[in-house]
Amino acid sequence: MKYAETKTIRLPVDIEPFKPAWWAAHSHIHTVIASQLTRVRKPEVQRIAISTPDNDFLEIDVCDIDSDKPVVALFHGLEGSTDRHYIANLMGELKKAGFSSVGLNFRGCGSRMNEQPRFYHSGATDDYRIFFSWIKDQFPGQEVYAVGYSLGANALVKYLGEEADHSLVSRAVAISPPYDLKEGSIRMQKGFNKIYEMRFLKTLVEKLELKKERLQSMPEFNGNSIYEFDDQVTAKLHGFDGADDYYRQCSSRHFYKDVQVPLLVIHSKEDTLCPIEFAPVKEMDSNPHIQTCFTEKGGHVGFISSPPGWLYRTVLKWLTQ
């Protein structure tokens, strides 16, 4: 595969091979241990709320170190927040490297519930546009880079594809993105993945019930899967004709061909939550702006390495080339 030269990067970048820790022998170990036992070292941030055109707000964390380097926008995964280890610790690593960073808490994922009936979803690029515009206003003259994880990576790729060469982001990383939302939703109902699904579903339903106390128009939910939640709640709240329509319109696989800025996609071939077999490899390989790093081992947003810190080193190398 040959990569074209762009204004900001010559692809491919030499990526350090991923070497898993000897004891991390299974993808679920990488996923669970990284998620539950990683120590969080979040730098000092300022949490603020910015207004949205629909009389709501986006809650964001700003780590401004008064640097002229690009500002890095960060996006978490399903039912995460800027307090999750992968966002908080990356903020710390970015600070050490001289980057300011700004993390977005999706609607309903910050310290307080948002005002409108809508929540967030895998393709909510309208909020990304608001967020990127705010960064451009607050950090005039500086480039904007972006790193997204899982659901946040899906929406980031969708934004990059929609905007093409008009993107406010000039460099990006997508980590463990879902390529086909429907297939990922179905896969979550099987085997050990069901444990992840029930954990996600528990907090989603709790938020729904909390909103019902204030907003009587909220839809009812009577299912026991993410697919059913998306069909009965997510789709109705965000203008889709059911879960299948939501998944079809928002799956990242449709948008890689239109990406026009340097994008690194990091994904484990053993990821059970976002199966790599649905990756649009042909479209990725034919796009000169995209470089992929598909590791043989690892989990979902979890790469327990020897020596530790492979994922942060890889992201920082991409952002600093």
Structural domains of the chain, ranges and CATH numbers in brackets:
1-180+253-321 (3.40.50.1820), 181-250 (no CATH)
How much is the pLDDT for 12?
A: 79
In this predicted structure, the answer to whether residue 10 has a pLDDT above a threshold of 80 is: no
Tens-place pLDDT, residues 24-47: 888 988 898 877 777 889 999 999
- Across the chain, mean pLDDT equals 94
What share of the chain has pLDDT > 90, as a percent? 90
In this predicted structure, the answer to whether residue 9 has a pLDDT above a threshold of 70 is: no
C-alpha torsion sign, points 20, 25, 26, 30: negative
Weakest-pLDDT range from 8-12, 80-84, 121-125, 311-315: 8-12
pTM above 0.85, yes or no: yes
- pLDDT class for 1, splitting at 50, 70, 90? very low
Tens-place pLDDT, residues 106-147: 999 999 999 999 999 999 999 999 999 999 999 999 999 999
Tens-place pLDDT, residues 224-276: 999 999 999 999 999 999 999 999 999 999 999 999 999 999 999 999 999 99
Q: Report the alpha-carbon distance of residue 176 to residue 174 in Å, rounded.
A: 7
